[in-house]
């Protein structure tokens, strides 16, 4: 690793970073010393020199280049809050974000990374997550992909400023990166409606995939290039959708459903997971009958050109197709 460039914010950022790591550690988010060291040493503020925070009617920009010193201080402190921040707007909509650090920590721990593993990241974003992977695995073992040249160019520059040099690729994340395969780890920082088959095809047997699906985070273990299975983590997750070759997720109908159901994050997870394959009223009846199940009771199986979500048992009575055409009736 090359040394980071001179950083006028280094001292203040170091103090803010120590507070963040202490808070995440106290919450049990950083049990692995290797990831704890990564969060303690990788300077998040270098990857978000400006960002957008939601305000009434849209977004407000905070940046290191603000002429107001108090707003510059707000920018720096905000870079080390346990909150997601928007890093790119298009037509008033966020198209790229820097994820919440505690959620990033949970997803990275779920990879069960081992020395010598190679990793594919889908959704380069700011480059911060790639830098954490580089710290754990080594720069040459990390490949990160994003669809837009402006995103990858900016991330590559920020990574270099932080002294990190993974392979940064501009391309469709749903297609993976076959020229760098095979991989032991795949982690996505964008939501997907199904598991892209290309990811499995580029994985070694035993590889781990951690990716947002519905409003949760799915962890798959890969058996071979056409089969994988796993369950959701307990946490909720709301990511910008994966853009590229995959079709958009089906719409979710909510008309007539009870407010108590729509106010439940767990029910919205089931509703989104089964959209297009389970009537919303049937989903509500199932959710109540099964005791409002937590995310960990749900999973996904990929088997060749079929993939389906399920509750409790992949071969049980509650299973719903993912993808198009349907994976299972």
Question: Annotated active-site positions, please?
Answer: 99
Dihedral over Cα of 28, 30, 33, 39: its sign: negative
Question: In a 10 Å sphere around its CB, with 0-12 CB exposed, 13-18 middle and 19+ buried, how is residue 166 labelled?
Answer: buried
Q: Are 64 and 37 in contact (CB under 8 A)?
A: no
Within 13 A of 326's CA, how many CA atoms are on the CB side? Answer: 10
Q: What is the 3-state secondary structure (H, E, C) of 57-103?
A: CEEEEEECCCCCHHHHHHHHHHHCCCCCEEEEEECCEEEEEECCHHH
Beta carbons within 8 Å of 82's beta carbon, 6+ residues apart: 20, 23, 24, 100, 101, 102
Which helix (H) or strand (E) segment holds residue 206: the answer is strand 203-213
What value, to the nearest 5°, has the Cα angle with vertex 37 and ends 76 and 12? 25
The Cα 68–Cα 70 span in angstroms is 5
Which helix (H) or strand (E) segment holds residue 188: the answer is strand 183-188
Express the helix, strand and coil content of the chain in percent, nearest 5 each: 35, 30, 40
Beta carbons within 8 Å of 237's beta carbon, 6+ residues apart: 103, 191, 212, 215, 216, 217
């Amino acid at each position: 690793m090359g040394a980071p460039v001179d950083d006028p914010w280094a001292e203040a950022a170091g103090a803010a970073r120590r507070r963040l790591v202490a808070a995440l550690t106290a919450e049990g988010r950083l049990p692995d010393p290797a990831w704890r060291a990564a969060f303690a040493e990788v300077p998040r503020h270098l990857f978000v020199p400006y960002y957008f925070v939601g305000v009434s009617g849209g977004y407000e920009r905070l940046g290191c280049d603000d002429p107001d010193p108090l707003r510059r201080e707000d920018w720096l402190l905000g870079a080390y809050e346990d909150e997601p921040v928007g890093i790119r707007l298009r037509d008033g909509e966020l198209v790229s974000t820097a994820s919440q650090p505690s959620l990033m920590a949970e997803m990275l721990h779920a990879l069960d990374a081992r020395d010598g593993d190679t990793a594919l990241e889908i959704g380069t974003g700011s480059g911060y997550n790639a830098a954490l992977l580089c710290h754990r695995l080594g720069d040459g073992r990390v490949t990160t992909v994003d669809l837009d040249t402006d995103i990858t160019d900016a991330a590559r520059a920020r990574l270099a400023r932080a002294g990190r040099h993974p392979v940064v690729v501009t391309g469709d994340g749903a297609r993976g990166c076959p020229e760098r395969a095979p991989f032991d780890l795949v982690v996505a920082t964008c939501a997907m409606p199904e598991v892209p088959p290309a990811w499995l095809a580029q994985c070694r047997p035993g590889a781990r995939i951690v990716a947002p699906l519905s409003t949760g985070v799915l962890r798959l273990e890969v058996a071979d290039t056409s089969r994988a299975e796993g369950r959701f983590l307990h946490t909720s997750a709301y990511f910008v959708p994966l853009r590229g070759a995959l079709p958009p997720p089906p719409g979710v109908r909510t008309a007539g459903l009870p407010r108590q159901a729509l106010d439940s994050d767990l029910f919205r997870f089931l509703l989104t997971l089964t959209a297009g394959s389970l009537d919303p009223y049937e989903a509500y009846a199932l959710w109540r009958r099964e005791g409002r199940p937590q995310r960990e009771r749900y999973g996904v199986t990929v088997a060749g050109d079929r993939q389906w979500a399920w509750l409790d048992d992949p071969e049980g009575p509650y299973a719903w197709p993912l993808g198009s055409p349907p994976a299972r009736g």
